[in-house]
């Protein structure tokens, strides 16, 4: 089935939400190393998997347009694009992009507190933090150790193809749901992941999936949204392959801890070179991570993780390769020091 990337192609199958660019820029948010399952399927249109469904998103002036695709029929033929079911799909997108958080007011507050933020912000509006499924977010970020966005994206795609339920095929591109915990906790999961090129991360992905399945469970992991930041981070750091940086990524992007500041080599360099701090010394230890996070929380306030996401996106874009390399920036969020109808 061909992608229908514009509402004008089949308007009954598209819905829209009010959403000006100052509140959301898809091209920035979906390529900034927060999530790895979106691709630009045509200029300005982004297709990916969210909540076990395949979506295409598009922006036009002050509106965010979206459509969904049905699952394949038993004979393998894809069903046509499905008419969105209104209030529920709106709710899913609003939740995913946290659209109830007013971004322009936050930008003004951060800029008033920080001239360096103000200097960057005008060129990078609409950068907001996603609210992701905690299991998917955690297992994805385990794959980011010593890695970069293009490679992480390819790894997550192989993971989903090998272990996830097939949803549909669009323009010869198959889409799969993110795997269940049980699928990744199986006895042969680690060996299969190694065969897929996960290397040492295979043990951590399968081990954390098993630990969650046998302990907290997916619901328990999600319930960490209701506990204090320090407690959530402590629980996460007890999982195989989860250090402070990965835990903070999950706290920020899946567990509602807006104060979490993931510190990797990018953020460490920003703190030292742009803010003139001596934080972190010569190596990025857990203590240095805490000191840098505390510095930015003191500067930007209770949503420091959101402000940091803006600077991270700006730094990432500055380091990207020339045209044609979108999403291929080295050392993305994943670089861990140890690791009305659009036209």
Residues identified as active-site: 245
CB 170 within 8 A of CB 1: yes
Between CA 13 and CA 81 the distance in angstroms is 7
**Residue carrying structure tokens 């140890």:** 338
Between CA 138 and CA 118 the distance in angstroms is 31
CB 236 within 8 A of CB 246: yes
CB 145 within 8 A of CB 244: no
Structure tokens at 38: 């979106």
The C-alpha angle 289, 295, 299, rounded to 5 degrees, equals 145
CB 292 within 8 A of CB 261: yes
Between CA 335 and CA 343 the distance in angstroms is 37
Q: Which residue(s) pair with 86 in the sheet? A: none
């Amino acid at each position: 089935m061909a992608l229908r990337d514009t509402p004008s192609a089949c308007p009954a199958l598209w819905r829209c939400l009010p959403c000006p660019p100052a509140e959301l820029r898809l091209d920035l948010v979906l390529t900034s190393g927060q999530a790895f399952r979106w691709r630009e399927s045509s200029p300005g249109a982004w297709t990916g998997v969210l909540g076990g469904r395949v979506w295409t998103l598009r922006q036009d002036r002050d509106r965010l347009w979206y459509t969904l695709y049905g699952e394949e029929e038993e004979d393998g033929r894809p069903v046509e694009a499905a008419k969105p079911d209104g209030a529920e799909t709106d709710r899913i997108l609003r939740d995913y992009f946290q659209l109830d958080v007013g971004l322009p007011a936050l930008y003004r507050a951060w800029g008033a507190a920080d001239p360096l933020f103000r200097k960057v912000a005008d060129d990078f509006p609409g950068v907001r933090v996603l609210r992701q499924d905690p299991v998917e977010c955690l297992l994805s970020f385990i794959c980011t150790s010593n890695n970069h966005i293009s490679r992480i994206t390819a790894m997550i795609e192989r993971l989903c193809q090998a272990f996830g339920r097939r949803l549909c095929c669009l323009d010869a591109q198959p889409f799969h749901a993110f795997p269940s915990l049980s699928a990744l906790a199986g006895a042969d999961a680690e060996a299969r992941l190694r065969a897929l090129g996960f290397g040492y991360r295979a043990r951590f992905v399968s081990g954390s999936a098993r630990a969650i399945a046998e302990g907290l469970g997916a619901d328990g992991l999600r319930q960490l949204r209701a506990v204090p930041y320090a407690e959530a981070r402590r629980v996460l750091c007890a999982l195989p392959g989860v250090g402070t940086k990965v835990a903070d990524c999950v706290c920020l992007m899946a567990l509602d801890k807006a104060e979490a500041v993931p510190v990797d080599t990018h953020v460490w360099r920003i703190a030292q070179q742009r803010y003139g701090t001596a934080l972190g010394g010569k190596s990025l230890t857990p203590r240095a991570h805490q000191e840098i996070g505390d510095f930015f929380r003191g500067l930007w306030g209770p949503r420091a993780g959101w402000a940091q996401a803006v600077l991270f996106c700006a730094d990432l874009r500055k380091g990207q390769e020339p045209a044609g390399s979108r999403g291929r920036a080295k050392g993305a969020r994943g670089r861990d020091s140890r690791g009305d109808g659009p036209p």
